[in-house]
């Protein structure tokens, strides 16, 4: 089962993130990020993903099994007759590209935030953490009516403008045959477009539920997998997967009507059947494992955020885990080959 709709019924009157005053919400996001993340995750010029950078900073002797052969400094090696590798400093200017999925399926949510609001929170975290002298932030927003690009800019004013745009973007509220485009853009198209404009090496952050075009069979690759791999060749890529608890398990709430907001298909489901709920949970876990494996094959670091969890804590846990992995030396015999 791959339904992404919500149970039919009246919309909750509780205000969402986008209903709050824009400036007040942005201030709350900034405080949440700067107070709980700033200084805890990274230094002044280090990004969300730990890496060696690209600025030359001298050479040192080659360590077999730990250093990659492609980092060999052949000039120093020839002069000293001792193998040396180049040392690199972290980049002092970082260009970050965001690809934000704002399709109809991202408007779904049953917790305090829906998936689209959580995506805005992720954009805020990336933006505030990468804002610095000389750093730039650009974005592509995937909407049901087209792909909207925002040129890279720097500073808090640029970031606040991007966040206001995401908060104020209209919601489509479900499938409409009269207004739906014949061929709406998909995630693969958006990734290909981002690859063409992101010519300078930097950080690429893709925020989505990654269900777009996901094949039924786990053995088949996702249509966006190869394009993600192409981006990872040149950039550091962070894939932020946004999910809701109802996409993992089906509650016992009696008879409900599930609606796929992107196709308009409907199906009535009796959730009182425990076998149905068990099959749903197993299928959902297999689907998410499929996404996880596709992201891994695509060469992206994977950060999972859920609408019913503390997203700040999840980001902290992810970055600390990435740093521990980056600090682990490569075992002997597994170094890069010529």
- Choose between 94 and 326: higher pLDDT: 94
Write down the H helix ranges in 169-307: 187-197, 225-234, 274-297
pLDDT at 48 over 60: no
Q: Residue 338's pLDDT is what?
A: 35
pLDDT at position 35 over 80: no
Are 94 and 200 in contact by the 8 Å Cβ rule? The answer is no
Comparing 56-70, 154-168, 190-204, which segment has the lowest mean pLDDT? 56-70
| Half-sphere exposure for 247 (CA within 13 Å, toward CB) | 26
Structure-model confidence comparison of residues 329 and 21, the more confident one = 329
**CA proximity to 117, closest of 131, 100, 130, 129:** 100
Burial call 4-34: b when 16+ CB within 10 Å, e when fewer: bbbbeeeeeeeebbbeeeeeebbeebbebbe
| 106 CB neighbour count, 10 Å cutoff | 26
pLDDT at 11: 39
Q: Give the model's confidence band at 225: pLDDT under 50 very low, under 70 low, under 90 confident, else very high.
A: very high
Cβ contacts of 211 within 8 Å, gap of 6 or more: 2, 4, 105, 287, 291
Average pLDDT of the residues in 110-132: 86
pLDDT of residue 34: 62
What mean pLDDT do residues 14-38 have?
55
Token readout for 162 is: 């991007």
For CA atoms 153, 224, 49, 195, the dihedral sign is negative
- Residues 121, 313 contacting (CB under 8 angstroms): no
- How does DSSP assign 120-132, residue by residue? HHHHHHHHHHH--
Q: For residues 51 and 122, which has the higher predicted lDDT (pLDDT)?
A: 122
Whether 104 and 142 have beta carbons less than 8 Å apart is answered as: no
Q: Residue 118 in contact with residue 244, Cβ under 8 Å?
A: no
Judged against a pLDDT cut of 60, whether residue 90 lies above it is answered with no
8 Å CB contact between 243 and 236: no
Residue 53 — very low, low, confident or very high, per pLDDT cuts 50/70/90?
low
Say if residues 16 and 114 touch (Cβ distance below 8 Å).
yes
* For the chain, domain boundaries: 17-47+91-327, 55-89
Please say if the pLDDT value at position 3 is more than 70: no
299-303 long-range CB contacts below 8 Å, 24 or more apart?
299/228, 299/229, 299/232, 299/233, 299/237, 300/206, 300/228, 300/232, 300/237, 300/238, 300/239, 301/49, 301/236, 301/237, 301/238, 301/239, 302/239, 302/241, 303/238, 303/239, 303/240, 303/241
Q: Chain centroid to CA 31: how far?
A: 21
- Can you tell me the distance from the alpha carbon of 256 to that of 254, in angstroms, rounded to the nearest whole number? 6
Higher pLDDT residue, 88 or 100? 100
For the stretch 285-323, pLDDT in tens is: 999 999 999 999 999 999 999 999 888 888 878 877 776
Is the model more confident about 54 or about 256?
256
Q: Which residue, among 144, 104, 138, 110, has the nearest Cα to 123 in the 3D structure?
A: 138
pLDDT score recorded for residue 168: 80
Q: Average of pLDDT values for 23-39?
A: 61
**Per-residue confidence band for 110, with pLDDT thresholds at 50, 70 and 90:** confident
Average pLDDT, the chain: 77
pLDDT in tens, 151-178: 999 888 898 888 888 888 777 765 455 5
pLDDT of the residue at 41: 46
Over residues 245-251, the mean pLDDT reads 90
pLDDT of 12 strictly over 80: no
Give the pLDDT score at 36. 59
CATH assignment, 17-47+91-327: 3.40.50.410
More confident residue, 90 or 25: 25
Question: Are the C-beta atoms of residues 203 and 49 closer than 8 Å to each other?
Answer: yes
């Amino acid at each position: 089962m791959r339904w992404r709709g919500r149970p039919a019924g009246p919309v909750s009157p509780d205000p969402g993130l986008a209903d709050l005053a824009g400036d007040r919400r942005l201030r709350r996001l900034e405080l949440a990020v700067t107070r709980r993340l700033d200084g805890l995750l990274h230094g002044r010029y280090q990004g969300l993903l730990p890496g060696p950078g690209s600025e030359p900073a001298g050479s040192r002797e080659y360590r077999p099994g730990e250093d990659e052969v492609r980092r060999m400094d052949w000039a120093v090696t020839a002069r000293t007759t001792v193998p040396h590798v180049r040392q690199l400093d972290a980049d002092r200017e970082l260009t970050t590209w965001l690809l934000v999925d704002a399709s109809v399926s991202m408007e779904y949510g049953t917790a305090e935030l829906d998936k689209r609001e959580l995506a805005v929170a992720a954009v805020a975290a990336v933006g505030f953490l990468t804002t610095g002298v000389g750093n730039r932030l650009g974005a592509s927003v995937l909407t049901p009516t087209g792909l909207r690009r925002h040129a890279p800019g720097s500073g808090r004013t640029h970031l606040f403008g991007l966040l206001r745009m995401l908060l104020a973007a209209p919601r489509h509220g479900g499938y409409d045959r009269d207004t739906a485009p014949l061929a709406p853009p998909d995630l693969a198209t958006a990734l290909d477009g981002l690859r063409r404009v992101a010519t300078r090496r930097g950080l690429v952050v893709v925020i989505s539920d990654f269900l777009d075009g996901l094949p039924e069979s786990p053995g088949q690759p996702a249509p966006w997998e190869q394009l993600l791999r192409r981006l990872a060749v040149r950039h550091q890529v962070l894939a932020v997967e946004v999910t809701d608890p109802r996409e993992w398990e089906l509650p016992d709430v009696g008879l409900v009507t599930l609606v796929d907001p992107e196709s308009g298909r409907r199906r009535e489901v009796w959730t009182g059947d425990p076998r149905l709920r068990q099959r749903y949970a197993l299928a959902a876990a297999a689907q998410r494992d499929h996404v996880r494996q596709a992201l891994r094959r695509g060469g992206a670091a994977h950060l999972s955020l859920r609408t019913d969890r503390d997203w700040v804590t999840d980001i902290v846990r992810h970055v600390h885990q990435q740093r521990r992995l980056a600090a682990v030396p490569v075992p002997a015999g597994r170094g890069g080959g010529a």
